[in-house]
Amino acid sequence: MRIVVTGGAGFVGSHLCERLLAEGHTVVAIDNLITGSVDNIAHLRDPRFEFIHHDVSKSIYLAGPVDFVFHLASPASPVDYLEYPIQTLKVGSLGTHNALGLAKEKRAGLLFASTSEVYGDPDVNPQPESYHGNVSTTGLRGCYDEAKRFGEALVMAYHRQHRLSTRIVRIFNTYGPRMRLNDGRVVPQFIGQALRGEDLTVYGDGHQTRSFCYVDDTVDGIWRLANWVGDAVVGPGGQVLRDEAMPVNIGNPEERTIRQFAEEILHLVGSRSQLTFRPCPTDNDPMQRRPDISRAREKLGWEPRVPFAEGMQRTIEDLRNRLAL
């Protein structure tokens, strides 16, 4: 197949491109490098791999056939989307529209990378796909959360109206090699601080929880979802939909507090840094986040395989090497 990956020079996108090449496909990565880097794909020297520097919030023209579009383009770290709120809203809305337009034109399938952030600061834990969320439209995270919620609605509209073959994956906190050292997400932030011997900056009281999934597991879930052809199901209003078009959570249900996570990082790095408590730079920091992965287990036969300590050691090694450079 010839497969397009928007956001292909980003953290998850670059691992997905690698997996698609390993599966024997031809890959076109489209990325404007706003938060990604060509360093992430420099090793993909393969005649079946092509990189196009383009902002997908503007029309996408591509010659030749396309069989599938993975739409991953979007800033994803709170620090990034606070810096680029308008670009984040544009790529989730206009960018998703353009990616859907490309898929429709080429009669290709499309998978949209959504997020656990559509659940906002959830009042149910763990979060099943049926939970409708608790998002503030006007809060600092709103530019990301609402763009992704709009994106999901648009994908469903294309599925309903144009019968496009679509998938929506709700990705929970994913970590691994190639995360940007300064992207502000808690994993590279704590590891970088521990490696440099600086204090680890815990926001709030550190009682908020997250559930961390290793990138290879996330990519495997995404790939399985793209390949899943389910049954017809009756959706809201009695309309018949494809089961595979309805959202699927992909994440690791192992939940820990941020304070506990900081202590584990100190231990894994072997660092004598201290914890320091700071106010959270965003409002509405979700207090709990843990995926209910029953649907992924049942429909995709998927669950995370890489243990926390192993995934973190691989990530620490990668960040250590890059810090040394």
Site string for ligand UDP, 215-254 (x = CB under 6 A): ----------------------------------------
Answer for which of 33, 62, 82, 124 binds ligand NAD (CB under 6 A) is: 33
* 45 HSE (CA, 13 A, CB side): 2
| Contacts by 54-57, CB closer than 8 A, 24 or more apart | 54/30, 56/6, 56/30, 56/32, 56/91, 56/95, 56/98, 56/99, 57/87, 57/90, 57/91, 57/94, 57/95, 57/98
Q: Which is nearer to ligand UDP, 165 or 208 (CB)?
A: 208
Q: Is 35 in the site for ligand UDP (CB under 6 A)?
A: no
Q: Is 312 in the site for ligand NAD (CB under 6 A)?
A: no
Among candidate residues 84, 144, 158, 214, the one labeled active-site is 144
Answer for which of 88, 208, 249, 315 binds ligand UDP (CB under 6 A) is: 208
Interface region with ligand NAD, contact rule CB under 6 A, candidates 32-40, 120-128, 292-300, 311-319: 32-40
At 23, which amino acid appears?
E
Count of positions on this chain that bind ligand UDP (CB under 6 A)? 15
What, of ligand UDP, ligand NAD, none, does residue 300 touch, CB below 5 to 8 Å by kind? none
144 is catalytic: yes
Q: Tell me which residues in 95-154 interact with ligand NAD (CB under 6 A).
A: 95, 113, 115
Q: Is 173 in the site for ligand NAD (CB under 6 A)?
A: yes
Answer for which of 17, 27, 34, 102 binds ligand NAD (CB under 6 A) is: 34
CB atoms within 10 A of CB 197: 10
Answer for which of 185, 242, 290, 295 binds ligand UDP (CB under 6 A) is: 185
Q: Is 201 in the site for ligand UDP (CB under 6 A)?
A: yes
Residues catalogued as catalytic: 144
